[in-house]
Structure 1
Amino acid sequence: MRFISPSRGPLSWEEVVADLLDYVTEDPSFSYKIIIGTDSQVREETHFVTAIVVHRVGKGARYFYCRRTYENVRSLKQRIFMEAATSLEIASKLAQSLAERGHLELDVEIHLDIGQNGETKGLIRDIVGMITGSGFDAKIKPYSCGASTVADKYTK
């Protein structure tokens, strides 16, 4: 799986983790949030984009994204569950990579493209339960910029 950094171009998983940790350690006086979010868009196929955002609280962010394409994933419910599962997969992999490098202080939260308004409100309990039951914090709209802003930008 290849990720793209808007400033550095295509990166391997190891390069993403190294760049993320470089960003965090270059100014340890700030607090950081590690955010994973996935959004999807249906065209001829369904495009899923997952973003990893490193938010230097009060001082900007850096992000990386990857794109996957699937056929026959068209229903809203199926797409939302797949978005959450994809974010969970990447968050678990990232948490493991960070732990292996001794960075247990960095919490990973998952941003979901669901909210109290619109067609997805009936899915909130199930999706948030899936994420929190796996040990991650879950954020929904309007607090889910990782999915609804960053990942959404690259589904178009």
Structure 2
Amino acid sequence: MHFFSPSKGKISIQELLTELSLYIQDSSPSNYKIIIGTDSQTYKDKTIFVTAVIIQRLGKGARFFYKKKKQKPIHDLRTRIYTETELSLKHLNSLKEKGLANLFAKYPVEVHVDIGRNGDTRQLIHEVVGWVTAVGYTAKIKPDSFGASSVADKFTS
């Protein structure tokens, strides 16, 4: 599994872990938050999913990494939102297994979901937030879900 860094290009999971650790060690004592969010865009012939992994140094910036996945077009909004959430949770579990368990235990982890109280996705809030919460993470929705609705969204084209 590979991710992309805006400054380093294609990186491995091990390099991602190293980058996260270096970012934390690079600053005097600060508070951090780990954020993961997935967004998607459907085109005529494909749907592109982008998952962003963000480490936020509260009040002092952030670093992010992303991974793209292309598949057959998914036109049903409910299915796309569920797939986005599933990808975020799968990537969290994979990162945890590869060595981020200590970071996840030390810093808050948020799953940013591209749903909100306005628009068609409002009907999914209870289900999706319940799912994320049930597996032990904090869910954030619009307007607080920038990991999905801004960072991941930027790379869905």
Provide the secondary structure at the position in 2 that maps to 1:22.
helix
Q: Distance in 2 between matches of 1:22 and 1:4?
A: 17
**Scaled by the length of structure 2, what TM-score is found?**
0.94
Q: How many residues align structurally?
A: 154
User: Following TM superposition, by how much is the alpha carbon of 1:22 offset from its aligned partner in structure 2, in angstroms?
Assistant: 1.1
Q: Distance in 1 between matches of 2:22 and 2:4?
A: 17
Structure 2: gaps (5+ residues): none
User: Following TM superposition, by how much is the alpha carbon of 1:93 offset from its aligned partner in structure 2, in angstroms?
Assistant: 2.3
Deviations 1:64-112 (A, max 9, x none): 000000104221000000000000111222234222xx43212221000
Q: Distance in 2 between matches of 1:28 and 1:41?
A: 39
Q: Distance in 1 between matches of 2:144 and 2:58?
A: 14
Aligned to 1:107: 108
Deviations 1:32-88 (A, max 9, x none): 111000000001200000000111111111000000001042210000000000001
Q: Distance in 1 between matches of 2:64 and 2:96?
A: 16
Report if the CA contact (8 A) 1:95-1:108 is conserved. Answer: no
Bigger helix share: 2
Q: Distance in 2 between matches of 1:28 and 1:132?
A: 32
Percent identity between the two aligned chains: 46
User: Following TM superposition, by how much is the alpha carbon of 1:30 offset from its aligned partner in structure 2, in angstroms?
Assistant: 1.0
Residue 27 of structure 2 corresponds to residue 27 of structure 1: yes
What is the letter of the counterpart of residue 15 of structure 1?
A: E
**Scaled by the length of structure 1, what TM-score is found?**
0.94
Report if the CA contact (8 A) 1:36-1:50 is conserved. Answer: yes
Provide the secondary structure at the position in 2 that maps to 1:91.
helix
Aligned to 2:145: 144
Q: Distance in 2 between matches of 1:154 and 1:28?
A: 31
CA RMSD of aligned residues (A): 1.1
Aligned to 2:51: 50
User: Following TM superposition, by how much is the alpha carbon of 1:2 offset from its aligned partner in structure 2, in angstroms?
Assistant: 1.4
